[in-house]
Structure 1
Amino acid sequence: MPELLYPLDSTKRFTDQEKVGHNRWHPDIPPAVTVRPGDEFRVHVREWFDGAIRNDDSAEDILNAPLSTVHCLSGPFAVEGAKPGDLLVVDILDVGPIPQEDSGPLAGQGWGYTGIFPTDNGGGFLTEQFPDAYKAIWDFSGHVATSRHVPGVSFTGIMHPGLMGTAPSAALLSKWNAREGALIATNPNRVPPLALPPLPTDAVLGSLTGDAFDRAAAEAARTAPPRENGGNQDIKNLTRGSRVFYPVFVDGANLSVGDLHFSQGDGEITFCGAIEMGGFIDLRVDLIPDGMSTYGVSENAIFMPGNEGPVYSDWLAFSGTSVTLDGEQRYLDSQLAYQRACLHAIDYLTKFGYSPEQAYLILGAAPIEGRFSGVVDIPNACATVYLPTAIFDFPVAPSLDGPAQVDPGMGAPHAAR
């Protein structure tokens, strides 16, 4: 096992740890640990809500989830010799749930969860069709997940960090705030909001204190979206064996990681669409001096995905085009086409006895594949959702016998305002 450089105590809150991480992006957050190129090390990671979501049969915790507190990031990790303009090479050697613990109150201790977030507290990809809060608890047996809230489904998780990235420079942070602020100004009262502005409330900024903390908290960027530094990309194939090349914007690079997932479908479509967990990640770091200009990677990470995870050979694919539910034609709107493909898959699964919410949770948590299949044939973009048939305990393809009927069990816990 690589040396544990960032330990966490599962009995303590995120802010009470010996090494306190952060939940905002800012160049002034001091590094918690310094490593050298070539070093391999283990990092413990808190679940993104720091234990606010419980292993029970209620969705009240999803309804009232404290979004101002996320994400709980471990780091930053400064890399000796890293300079702006370099590429930081990060190898994901291993990733998994909280080590040596197979039961407990925290996600990652033998279980994880998927949430459909309400429209006024995060929303999701299909929030217009699914405006209320729902939750599914998934139990882990080795690398396999099952749920009492979504019977008839089991699958091997493709474990990965939903969020990893380098610190922004002051100039890059200012750019983020300006462009996202301009977007918010186009519809400042939209629910859910168009973007999340800086929010000092509940900000955690590592070891910063006093006036330095107050200044940084007022301008630090929220961690919700992916940006030029990587960030919350939620790429399910960024698993063990992956190599990532991150742009470096500050001395030391200041790498941070969090938001571990036991499994996820492409798009993490319910917003908390993955199976969320706390756990560990083993990393190796290296540098390519001046790599940003050498390879033209001036923004956004590039990566070589790992080749581990379940291998599925049989799929049932659903397609959608860029036409709204009420029949309005949109021009090559790939996101709308993907929404329609997801809705077609959900409608299909309800014929087997699942509620629409259970079907939606399956698409968020299981390792589905989403593809933009046609983006040039005006006026309709075409997107597809590939559903692996092996995750179901019953035949899911159409047949002359009609759809098998699944006992939906207790269903997904629901909470509404």
Structure 2
Amino acid sequence: MPKVIFPLDSSKKFEDQEKLGHNRWHPEIPPVASVKPGDSFRVHCREWFDGAIVNDDSADDILNAPLMCVHKLSGPFRIEGAKPGDLLIVDILDVGPIPQEDSGPLAGQGWGYTGIFSRNNGGGFLTEQFPDAYKAIWDFNGQIATSRHVPSVSFPGLIHPGLMGTAPSAELLKKWNMREGALIATDPKRVPPLALPPEPREAVLGGVPAADFKRVASEAARTAPPRENGGNQDIKNMSKGTRIFYPVFVDGANLSLGDLHFSQGDGEITFCGAIEMGGFIDLHVDLIKGGMETYGVSENAIFMPGNVDPQFSQWIAFSGTSVTLDGEQRYLDSHLSYQRACLHAIDYLTKFGYSPEQAYLLLGAAPIEGRLSGVVDIPNSCSTVYIPTSIFDFDVRPSAKGPHQIKPGIGAPRSANK
């Protein structure tokens, strides 16, 4: 086993650990450990809410999820010799739930969760159709996930980090804040908001000195979106065996990561759409000196996915076009067409006895595939969502005898509060 350079004790909160991570991006957050090019090492990760979501049959914790505090990231880790303009090579050697802890109160101890977030607290891809808070708990049996809240399905997990990235430079951080601030200014009272500005409340900044904490907290970027440094990309295929090439913007690169997922569908459409968990990840790092210029990489990460994806041979797919629910034509709107494809899939699954919320939670958690199937035929973009048929314990295909009716069980818990 590689050396653990960022340990986490499951009996302690994130802020009480031996080494303190962070939940904001800023170039002045000091590294908690250093590694050399060619090193392999293990990092422990806490799920993104640090234990605020519990294994029960209520969704009140999802309704009141403390979004100010996310994501609880492990790091930063300094890579010796890394300089701005280099490419940082990160190989994911292994990744999984919390080792030797298959039961307990923390997500990752034999279970994880998926949530539909309230429109007033985060929202989601389909928040207009699903404005209330719901939750599904998933139990892990080896590589297989099942849920008492979404019955009659099981599937293998494709475990991956939802978030990994390098630290921004001061100039890049300023660019983020300016452009996202300008977007917010176009509709500052929108719910959910258009973007998340710097927020000093609940900021965790690692080893930033007390004298600088207030200033850094007021500048540091929230970790919610993906950006030029990688960040919260939520790419389900970035699993074991993946090699990622990250641009380096500061001396040492200052790599950070977290937000582990047991499984996820393309798009993580409920916002908390993956099966969230804590766990471990083993990494190997190296450098390509001057690689950003050599390969024309200035504002993006490149990755080569591993080969551990679950193998499915049959799918049922649903298409959507860029026409709104009330019939308004939009021009090549791929975001809208993927929404419509997902809504068509949800409507189809309700014919088998699932509630719309159960179907929505399933699309967020299961290894569905989302595709841009047509982006040139004006005026309609076409997107598709593919669902593996084998994840169901019944025949989900259309047939002359009509849809099988599942036993919905206790259903997905909904918060009774607003």
Paired residue type of 1:44: H
Q: Which amino acid counterpart does residue 259 of structure 1 have in structure 2?
A: D
Q: Which residue identity is paired with 2:257?
A: V
Deviation at 1:208, TM superposition (A): 1.2
> Which letter does structure 1 place at the counterpart of 2:180?
E
**Deviation (angstroms), 1:210:** 1.4
1:342, distance to aligned residue in structure 2 (A): 0.0
User: Which residue is equivalent to 1:146?
Assistant: 146
Aligned to 2:37: 37
What does 1:215-254 correspond to in 2, within 5 Å?
Answer: 215-254=215-254
Secondary structure of the corresponding residue to residue 338 of structure 2: helix
The letter of the residue matching 1:351 is K
Structure 1 position 211, deviation (Å): 2.0
Deviation at 1:170, TM superposition (A): 0.1
User: Is 1:281 the counterpart of 2:292 in the alignment?
Assistant: no
Letter in 2 for 1:229: N
Unaligned runs of 5+ in 1: none
Residue matched to 2:186:
186
Shift of 1:116: 0.1
Listed as ranges, the matches of 1:172-321 within 5 Å are 172-321=172-321
3-state DSSP class of the match of 1:62? helix
Tell me the amino acid that sits aligned with residue 11 of structure 1. Answer: S
Q: TM-score, normalised by structure 1?
A: 1.00
2:6 aligned partner? 6
CA distance in 2 between counterparts of 1:137 and 1:382 reads 32
Q: Deviations over 1:164-203 (max 9, x none)?
A: 0000000000000000000000000000000000000000
Contact 1:156–1:309 (8 Å) recurs in 2: no
Is 1:370 the counterpart of 2:370? The answer is: yes
Q: Tell me the secondary structure at the aligned position of residue 346 of structure 2.
A: helix
User: What is the identity, as a one-letter code, of the residue corresponding to 2:207?
Assistant: S
Look up the equivalent residue of 2:371 and give its one-letter code. R
What code does the residue aligned with 1:84 have?
Answer: P
2: distance between equivalents of 1:137 and 1:267?
A: 20
- 1-side partners of 2:211 and 2:322: how far apart? 50
Cα offset for 1:209?
2.8
Q: How many residues align?
A: 417
Find the counterpart in structure 1 of residue 53 from structure 2.
53
Q: Which runs of 5+ in 2 are unaligned?
A: none
In the alignment, residue 110 of structure 2 is paired with which amino acid? G
Match of 1:155 in 2: 155
What is the alpha-carbon distance in structure 2 between the residues aligned to residue 298 and residue 125 of structure 1? 29
Identity level (%)? 79
- CA-CA distance at 1:299 after TM superposition: 1.0
Distance in structure 1 (CA, Å) of the matches to 2:209 and 2:147: 43
1:384 lines up with 2:384 in the alignment: yes
The answer to whether the 8 A contact 1:183-1:195 is kept is yes
Residue 328 in structure 1 maps to residue 328 in structure 2:
yes
Question: Tell me, what secondary structure is at the counterpart of 1:119?
Answer: coil
The yes-or-no answer on 1:98 pairing with 2:98 is yes
Q: Cα deviation per residue 1:131-160 (whole Å; 9 max; x = unaligned)?
A: 000000000000100000000000000000
CA contact (8 A) 1:156 1:310 kept: yes
> Distance in 2 between the 1:63 and 1:306 partners?
35
Structure 1 residue 10, shift from structure 2 partner: 0.4
TM-fit CA distance, 1:213: 1.2
Shift of 1:214: 1.2
| Distance (whole Å) between structure 2 residues aligned to residue 5 and residue 143 of structure 1 | 26
RMSD: 0.4
CA distance in structure 1 between the partners assigned to 2:110 and 2:203 by the alignment: 29
Give the Cα–Cα distance (whole angstroms) in 2 for the partners of residues 6 and 173 of structure 1. 25
| 1:215 Cα deviation from its structure 2 partner | 1.1
What's the CA shift string for 1:335-362, capped at 9, x where partnerless? 0000000000000000000000000000
Q: Offset at 1:401?
A: 1.1
Structure 2 counterpart SS, 1:44: strand
Distance in 1 of aligned mates of 2:376 and 2:62:
39
Question: CA separation in 1, counterparts of 2:401 and 2:235?
Answer: 37
More moved, 302-311 vs 346-355: 302-311
CA distance, structure 2, for counterparts of residue 373 and residue 387 of structure 1: 15
Matched residue, 1:109:
109
Q: What's the counterpart of residue 137 of structure 1?
A: 137
Looking at structure 2, the residues matched to 147 and 42 of structure 1 have their Cα atoms a distance apart, in angstroms, of 29
CA distance in 1 between counterparts of 2:2 and 2:230 reads 24
Runs of at least 4 residues off by over 3 Å: none
8 Å contact from structure 1 (residues 70, 223) kept in 2: yes
Corresponding position of 2:23: 23
- Counterpart of 1:384, as a letter, is T
Residue 309 of structure 1: CA displacement? 2.6
For residues 330 and 309 of structure 2, what CA distance do their matches in structure 1 show? Answer: 36
Taking structure 2 as the reference length, the TM-score comes to 0.99
SS in 1 for 2:262: strand
SS at match of 2:120: helix
Q: Could you say what secondary structure the match of 2:158 adopts?
A: coil
The Cα shift of 1:249 comes to 0.1
